[in-house]
Amino acid sequence: MSVQPFKLPSFAKLNWHLRVLGKRSDGFHELCTVFQTVSLADVISFAADDEFILTTDHPDIQTGETNLITRAARLLTELKGVSAGARIHLEKKIPAPGGLGGGSSNGAVALMGLARLWSVNVDKADLSEMAAKLGSDVPFFMHGGTSGASGRGTEFFPVPEIEEKHILIVAPRCDIPTGRAFEVLGRRDLTKTDAISILKICRNEALTLNLRESELVNDFEKVIFEIEPEIKRAKEKLLELEARKALMSGSGASVFAVFDSEELLQSAYNDLQIEDTWRKYIVRTISRMEYRESLKPVKEFIRD
């Protein structure tokens, strides 16, 4: 008997902190970041089918071989020798591209959702390996919550959970491919000793990150603000509207702002209505526990 259709949320992330330390010999960059899942989410519906069919309500999202959901299905099919298909529908709410990990989150949730749909057990290690093949931000979406990450962004270390209830995300309509953002940074090649000592400093910054006192840093801001001044304007506007902190997420274009109260957040949201080309989302943090709870339907198919 085939599994009944089911839906899973696919949450967005932001980066509380993002340092790009230098270029590695494999062409990727060594990072130090703190990821956070937030309540903005796509919804992915899974149903049994003989063929593989991916549909979406968003006209700009490709559903072919470049979509991370399609690629996740291919990887899992190869690993488990599955011959069944799947009918998947993606309700897109997370702006893409936008530095909020929308596509990466979809890829991770697809891996887990398809394990349930096809009733195949997958080891956590296999899942992490497939996730890393899909992209550098994908493995984070296996855990969610607040998490430190280094390496390509796929090696995790624990940091204290951050809870913020009043966050406004603004996404100006700019499209910055991630690869290009890394290129324009022009980081030099890392030697092994550099990498170790800078990483130590970065991890310490990540571990002691405090959303009241610390300065939030995203190394992409300077260069991306030069290419797309509209993103800089969004950040400045959010700070003018009394955000406690504001920072670009990932390689942009989204900027998030943390407010001290619901009133301040609502008043900023209202004042921003005049910016009709910016998409705006009121969100809160999603803790690791909540994230795990949202993935409960797939838990029995994932082995330690």
Active-site residue, from 42, 93, 126, 137? 137
The verdict on whether 137 is a catalytic residue reads: yes
Query: Residues in contact with ligand C5P, total (CB under 6 A)?
Result: 11
Closest contact distance (angstroms) between CB of 140 and ligand C5P is 11
Q: Residues 3-32 vs ligand C5P: string with x where CB under 6 A?
A: -------------------------xx-x-
Closest contact distance (angstroms) between CB of 25 and ligand C5P is 12
**Which lies closer to ligand C5P via its Cβ, residue 99 or residue 241?**
99
Candidate ranges 33-41, 72-80, 177-185, 255-263; the one touching ligand C5P (CB under 6 A): 177-185
**Which lies closer to ligand C5P via its Cβ, residue 31 or residue 169?**
31
Q: What tokens appear for 156 in the block?
A: 């995790």
Instruction: Return the C-alpha torsion angle 189, 192, 197, 201, nearest 10.
Output: 60
Contact indicator for 248, 221 with CB cutoff of 8 Å: yes
Figure out which of the listed residues 4, 179, 276, 304 binds ligand C5P, where binding follows CB under 6 A.
Answer: 179
Candidate ranges 62-70, 112-120, 123-131, 175-183; the one touching ligand C5P (CB under 6 A): 175-183
* Residues between 240 and 269 with contacts to ligand C5P, criterion CB under 6 A: none
**Which lies closer to ligand C5P via its Cβ, residue 196 or residue 211?**
196
Q: Residues 147-166 vs ligand C5P: string with x where CB under 6 A?
A: -----xx-------------
- Give the per-residue SS3 of the chain: CCCCCEEEEEEEEEEEEEEEEEECCCCCEEEEEEEEEEEEEEEEEEEEECCEEEEECCCCCCCCCCCHHHHHHHHHHHHHCCCCEEEEEEECCCCCCCCCCHHHHHHHHHHHHHHHHCCCCEEHHHHHHHHHHHCCCCHHHHCCCEEEEEECCCEEECCCCCCCCCEEEEECCCCCCHHHHHHHHCCCECCHHHHHHHHHHHHHHHHCCCCCCCCCCECCHHHHHHHCHHHHHHHHHHHHCCCCEEEECCCCCCEEEECCCHHHHHHHHHHHHHCCCCEEEEECECCHHHHHHHCHHHHCCEEC
The verdict on whether 245 is a catalytic residue reads: no
Q: Residues 128-147 vs ligand C5P: string with x where CB under 6 A?
A: -------xxx----------
Closest contact distance (angstroms) between CB of 137 and ligand C5P is 6
* Residues between 279 and 298 with contacts to ligand C5P, criterion CB under 6 A: none
Positions in the binding site for ligand C5P (CB under 6 A) = 28-29, 31, 135-137, 152-153, 178-179, 182
Q: Give catalytic residue positions.
A: 13, 137
